[in-house]
Chain A
Amino acid sequence: MTEIPLGSALEQFSNVHLDETAADMPCLMVPPADLLALCQFLRGEAALQFNFLSDICGVDFHPEAPRFQLVYHLVSIPNHWRLRLKCWLGDPPVAPTVTSVWTTANWHEREAYDMYGIHFDGHPDLRRLYMWDEFDGYPMRRDFPLRGYKDHMNPLGVERRRNGGGA
């Protein structure tokens, strides 16, 4: 694992800290309030240049709390570095959009919204991506049944309980 000079980032953002558990690449834990500023810093700083956003992944740790997490994978193409950002979200999950930093975030965030119901503040076009607009629920949440809920399209699905259940 290459050493990335993250000192300046950690100095500037007092709420950001290193996550020592990850083995494959350095990882920063960041609260949602600092996410956008940190991303702008990581991309803009001349010594870092994380100009490539590889992936945004939503994770649901139901029934634990906090429940939702966003994982960002960044690449610095000039320096050949990889970096992971992790951001715990509240419930209902809300995070700032990073589309202004990397254009590619647009669809990744729409996917996380579609699958987990994570809301991205300031996203230019936050709509469902895979599922149809009228679809009820967020399929990748862990309390959403694998077979889906029963309706006229899905007669073999699970009976929907009145309260909760991922919907």
Chain B
Amino acid sequence: MTEVTTLQEVPTDTGMAREVLMNLGPQHPSTHGVLRLLLQMDGEIVERIEPHIGLLHRGTEKLFESFTYTQIFPLTDRLDYLCPPSNNLGYALAVEALLGIEAPLRGQYIRVIMAELSRISGHLLITGALPMDVGAMTSLLYTMRDREMVLDLMEMISGVRMHTSFCRVGGVREDLPEGAEARILEFCDIFADRISDYETLLKNNRIFLARVENIGNITAEDAIALGLTGPNLRASGVDWDLRRDEPYEIYDRLEFNVITRKDGDCYDRWKCRLDEMRESLRMIRQCVEQMPAGDVLVDDPKIAFPVDKDLLAHSMETHIHHFELAAYGFKVPKGEVYQAIEAPKGELGYYLISDGSEKPFRLKVRSPSFVNLQALTERTTNMKYLADVIAMLGSLDPVMGEVDK
């Protein structure tokens, strides 16, 4: 068995054993899913943390190898299940890079709008859940109320609240429904004030600050060595955002600030996300303004279903392509590509090796939560007590679907 389990055999003949092995999770609200932590405790002080992951392991990467490229979209939804459009986007970009195609401009804008909406939805959970983990229940109720607005928008656009699977290789499934743009802008107006509400609710709350300020500091150097990305990295003062530094889709047409903080403690990671939601709102507004009319899916009958569905009734050729696509999928040329995007949790990378068939030879997901969670085990962070571990875990914001893959 594992090394840490043997520690249970601490000599107890005096009845005064100092070290206790404690089990946190896998079914504990503050572990945000099925994470099991083995804690070696000396009284209230945590000596060592050993995360046991894999309780949600579904073998996604193995499944990828037996699914066609289109069938993979629903699987990527279930990685970071708070922000499926981002996961879809990264995967679609990887396949498109190998195919050498690009989505039409309107399709790209819709993808970015959905990715940013999902970033808000993901960040809302953590801006509410971290305070709840440390005892401030109210905030979660507020953020969940507002997250409902995002889910409603998702439902309006894709028909599904959570696992949207709205992306396709070469664009998105269909155009925005009538009135969606107005609803999105309406959401932006309402939500801008709500962010300030959370801030005033918690920013000066002494009880909240006592639990998160100067807890679990990560220096910029450590953060890079640990491979942290996303808000966790930027909270430590590293100015690195793939949306700006390696722009994909239409991010180079948008104006936004990359939020960085200095201290890299739990509070900074929380605040960083709060401020990022404001930037996301700015981006969504710009997208809606700039979005041109036109196709949303690439016009290539061998890769995408026809945009004009009436063609199916009249054109035999379209019908054959449609059948081939639905039954066998499309082939992707031999090659390899690593495509990284700035997902809400950090750098989400897809490393795709194609052998020229309809199914990927190997598709590796570099999931940000998996890497971020590792920071919990390191001694580089100054967290001493059990209560600090909870704050640290909450602020790192791992989603177990993505950690376990």
Give complex CA distance A133, B1 in Å. 7
The reply to whether A54 and B366 form a contact with Cβ atoms under 8 Å apart is yes
Task: Decide: B227 and A104 in contact? CB cutoff 8 A.
Answer: yes
Stretch at the interface among B115-123, B160-168, B346-354: B346-354
Interface size class of chain A, counting residues whose CB lies under 8 Å from the partner chain: 35 or more
Residues A24 and B338 in contact, CB atoms below 8 Å apart: yes
Which segment of A7-15, A32-40, A123-131, A153-161 sits at the interface? A123-131
Indicate if the CB atoms of B54 and A82 lie closer than 8 Å: no
How many Å lie between the Cα of A22 and that of B224 in the bound state?
26
Contact (Cβ within 8 A) A77 B97: no
Which residues of chain B are near A133, meaning CB under 8 Å?
Answer: 1-2
Nearest-CB residue, chain A, relative to B377: A106
Given the complex of chains A and B, what is the CA–CA distance between A60 and B374 in angstroms? 26
Residues of A within 8 A of B351 (CB): 55, 57, 71, 73
Pick the interface stretch among B78-86, B238-246, B250-258. Answer: B238-246
- C-alpha spacing A35/B48, complex, angstroms: 31
Q: Tell me the chain B residues, 359-380 only, with Cβ under 8 Å from chain A.
A: 362, 364, 366, 370-371, 374, 378
Determine the distance from Cα of A53 to Cα of B366 in the docked complex, in whole angstroms.
11
CB distance from B95 to the nearest CB of A (A): 13
Interface residues of A in 14-66 (CB under 8 A from B): 21-25, 51-55, 57, 59-60
- Identify 13 residue pairs between A and B in the complex whose beta-carbon atoms are under 8 Å apart, listed by A's number: A52-B224, A54-B347, A55-B364, A57-B364, A77-B238, A77-B240, A84-B338, A102-B225, A103-B226, A108-B371, A115-B61, A125-B3, A131-B57
By a beta-carbon cutoff of 8 Å, the part of chain B in contact with chain A is 1-3, 53-54, 57, 59, 61-63, 65-66, 97, 222, 224-227, 238, 240, 245-246, 335-340, 347, 349, 351, 353, 362, 364, 366, 370-371, 374, 378, 404-405
Q: Using a CB–CB distance below 8 Å, which chain A residues touch chain B?
A: 21-25, 51-55, 57, 59-60, 71, 73, 77, 80, 82, 84, 102-104, 106-108, 115, 125, 127-133, 139-140, 142, 144, 146
Known: A128-B54, A146-B63. 10 other contacts (CB 8 A): A25-B338, A51-B224, A54-B227, A57-B351, A59-B362, A80-B246, A107-B371, A127-B2, A130-B57, A131-B54
